[in-house]
């Protein structure tokens, strides 16, 4: 599984600034996933971010630079996207993606454990 370790370090460092988060890393989605409080929040997939956000933000996020819809079985998966590096190189843009991921994580339901 190849993914940007530099981007993973950047995410790791940013998440460490938020108090009271339980952060776990897991290899998945062809990269590295950051689970926050046992819920998938943000991933590194090759050189892209993969973000989970509130589906109500779909129109807003789809207009952001670097946005790529996440497709599964030929259908767009609402509330998930990939972001190309051009969309998070600037610190403000990086913060945007982290913030919407953490905001949704606070209300998202955890996957059922097997």
The pLDDT tens digits of the residues spanning 72-92 come to 899 999 999 999 999 999 999
Residue 9 has pLDDT above 90, yes or no: yes
Residues 11-53 have pLDDT tens digits of: 999 999 999 999 999 998 789 999 999 999 999 999 999 999 9
State the DSSP string of 29-86: TTEEEEEETTEEEEEEEBTEEEEE--GGGHHHHHTSTTEEEEEETTEEEEEEEEE-GG
In the sheet where 39-45 sits, what is the strand order? 23-28, 31-36, 39-45, 48-52, 75-83, 67-72
Report the candidate in 27, 29, 37, 15 with the shortest Cα–Cα distance to residue 97: 15
For residue 114, is pLDDT > 60?
A: no
Average pLDDT for residues 4-15, to the nearest whole number?
96
pTM value is 0.92
User: What is the reported pLDDT for 113?
Assistant: 64
- Say what the pLDDT of residue 1 is: 59
Q: Output the six-digit token pair for 85.
A: 């590096």
Q: Cα–Cα distance between 24 and 33 in angstroms, integer?
A: 8
């Amino acid at each position: 599984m190849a993914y940007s370790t530099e981007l993973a370090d950047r995410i790791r460092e940013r998440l460490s600034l938020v108090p009271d988060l339980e952060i776990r890393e897991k290899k998945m989605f062809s990269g590295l996933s950051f689970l926050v409080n046992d819920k998938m929040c943000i991933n590194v997939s090759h050189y892209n971010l993969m973000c989970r956000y509130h589906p109500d933000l779909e129109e807003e996020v789809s207009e952001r630079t670097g946005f790529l819809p996440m497709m599964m079985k030929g259908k767009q998966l609402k509330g998930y996207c990939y972001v190309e590096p051009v969309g998070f190189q600037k610190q403000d843009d990086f913060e945007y993606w982290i913030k919407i991921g953490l905001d949704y994580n606070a209300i998202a339901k955890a996957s059922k454990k097997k």
